[in-house]
Amino acid sequence: MATSTSPLFTGTSAFSASLQAAITQAVNIASLPINQLTSNKTTLTNQSDEVSTLNSKFSALQSAINSLDQAVNSSFNTDVSNPAVVSVTAGEGAMQGDYSIQVQDVGAYSTMMTGTWNASPGAAQTYQLWIGSNEFDVNPTDNSAASVAQAINAHYGDKVQATVVNVGSDSQPDYRIALQSTTLTSDAIDLRDSSGTSFESNQSIGRPAQYEVDQSGSIVSSNTRNVTIANGVTVTLLSNSLSPIDVTITRSASAISSALQAFTNAYNAAVDEVNAQRGQSGGALQGQTIVNELSSALGRLATYTGTGAVTSLSALGLDLGSDGHITFNSFTFAAADLMNPNAVSAFLGSATGSGFLQSATNQLNGIEDPGTGLIPSEQMALQKQITSLTSQISAKQAEVNNLQIQLTSQMNTADASIASMEQQYNYVAGMFQAMQTAEQSYRSG
C-alpha cells in the first residue's frame, strides 16, 4: 500500500464512507506496481546480502591460500656452522638441503677522499665524477661540500655514495667529501673541478668478492656480498674463511600442516555456503548462475593434479569426500613431507610461480578481484538493479501521491455538494413534515 502526505478526506455526507472507500480502492490499484517493485527489490537485496556472505567465505579461503604460500615459501630454518663468516636467508623457491661455501675474499669497495674542501665563490660549477673510465657531470646548487655531495647522491647514488666528513675539530673544522662505490669493483673513483683538476687526497681501489660453493673447484667472483647459491637461498659474505662453511636449510613442516588445516576449514565453509543455495529450501541465490560457477571453482581447487612425484592433494592428506568436503590427515602429510619434502614443495609451488598455489591463487583472484572478479561483479550488478528499482519506486510513489491528492480534492468537493443537497432535502422534508402535522391537528380539532 502506498503512503501519502496528501490532506485527509474529511467527508460529512451520508455517502462519505463510500467516497473514502473509492479513494482507498483507487490508491490500492495504483499501488500494485509499487508492491511488485518493492517485492523485486527485497529479492535482490536478499541476493546481495547472500553474495556478501559468499564474499566473506571466499575471501577467507583466499587468505588461507596466502597463508599456505607463506608457510611453504617463507617458513625456513637456516643453520650456519660459522655465523661470523656468512649469514643466510631462505625465501621463495628454496628447497631443503645442505650446502657449503668457502669465502676466499669478501672483496672491497673503492673509496676516495678529497682534500680540504674550499667552496669556490660565485656561481655553482659543473664538477666531474669519474668512475673508472666513465665521466659524469655533477651540477650542485652551489659550490659547498654539502651541495656537491647531495648532487652526487641524487643522480649517481646507485654507483657511489658521497658523504661530508670533518677530519678537523669543532673549532677548526676540515670538511672533505668521501666517496665509496656501491659495488665491489676495481674501478677508481675521482672528483674533478670544471678545469679537470682532481680533488683527490687519498684513494683505495676495491676488488670483487670471491667464493666457492660446495667445493666445486670453481671460484665465483661477485660485485656484491649478497650472493645466491641456490634458488631462494641468499648468503651474505661477512669475512674470509680458511675452510668451507656448512649451511643447512630446513622447512617448517608444522607451519605447512597448520596452514593446510586452515585451508581445509576455509574450503569447507565456502562449500557449505554455496550448497545452502541449492534445493527446495535453497537460499536467496537459488537457481542463479553464480552458484554453479563458484561450485565449479571449488571443485577445481580440490581436484588439482600436479606432474611431479606428488600429484594430488590426497597425497598430502587432503581427501575429497562425496559430500564435497575436504578432510585433512596431518599424519599422512607428515609422512609425505618426511619422505620427500622437496616433492611436496614442488607440488605446492608458490602463488606467483607454479603448482597448486599458483592455480589456486589465479582461480581465487578470478573470484575475488575487486575490478573483474566474479563476486564483486555480481555484487555490482545487483546494486545497480537495486538502485534502479529504488528510483522506479520513488517515481511510482510520487504518481500515487498525486493521484491521492487529486481524488481527495475531488471527493471533498463532491461530498460538500452532496452534504449541501442533503441539507436542502432535509429542510424541504422538514417543511412537508410540519405541514402534515399541522393538517392532522386541524382535522382532529
Res 309 pLDDT > 60? yes
pLDDT in the model for residue 218 = 94
In angstroms, the CA 378 to CA 50 distance is: 11
In angstroms, the CA 358 to CA 381 distance is: 29
pLDDT in the model for residue 16 = 75
Per-residue cell: 331: 599424519
In angstroms, the CA 365 to CA 369 distance is: 5
Res 18 pLDDT > 50? yes
Nearest CA to 9 among 359, 408, 425, 421? 408
Burial (0-12, 13-18, 19+ Cβ within 10 Å), 106: buried
Q: Coil, strand or helix: which one is 119?
A: coil
pLDDT in the model for residue 67 = 96
The type of residue at 154 is A
Helix-strand-coil split of the chain, %, nearest 5: 50, 20, 30
> Mind listing the pLDDT tens digit for each residue in 369-386?
999 999 999 999 999 999
- Report the mean per-residue pLDDT for the chain: 91
Q: Which of 86-95, 106-115, 261-270, 331-340 has the lowest mean pLDDT?
A: 86-95
pLDDT in the model for residue 2 = 47
Q: Which residues pair with 220 in a beta bridge?
A: 211
Asked if 184 and 109 touch (Cβ cutoff 8 Å), the reply is yes
Longest dimension (CA), the chain: 156
User: pLDDT over 90 for what percent of the chain?
Assistant: 70
Asked if 218 and 212 touch (Cβ cutoff 8 Å), the reply is yes
pLDDT in the model for residue 23 = 75
**Residue 237 pLDDT class (50, 70, 90 cuts):** very high
Q: Kindly report the number of other CB atoms within 10 A of residue 132's CB atom.
A: 13
**Terminal-to-terminal C-alpha distance of the chain:** 65
Q: Find the helix or strand (DSSP H, E) in which 129 lies.
A: strand 127-131
Asked if 136 and 155 touch (Cβ cutoff 8 Å), the reply is yes
> Mind listing the pLDDT tens digit for each residue in 27-49?
888 778 888 988 989 999 999 99
Which one-letter DSSP state was computed for residue 198?
B
In angstroms, the CA 174 to CA 118 distance is: 9
**Residue 1 pLDDT class (50, 70, 90 cuts):** very low
Burial readout 56-95 (b: 16 or more C-beta within 10 A, e: otherwise): ebbbebbebbbbbbbbbbbbbebebeeeebbebebebbbb
Task: Spell out where 244-284 has E strands.
Answer: 245-251
pLDDT in the model for residue 280 = 83
pLDDT in the model for residue 98 = 92
**Residue 215 pLDDT class (50, 70, 90 cuts):** very high
Residue labelled with grid coordinates 599456505: 68
In angstroms, the CA 345 to CA 256 distance is: 10
In angstroms, the CA 27 to CA 17 distance is: 15
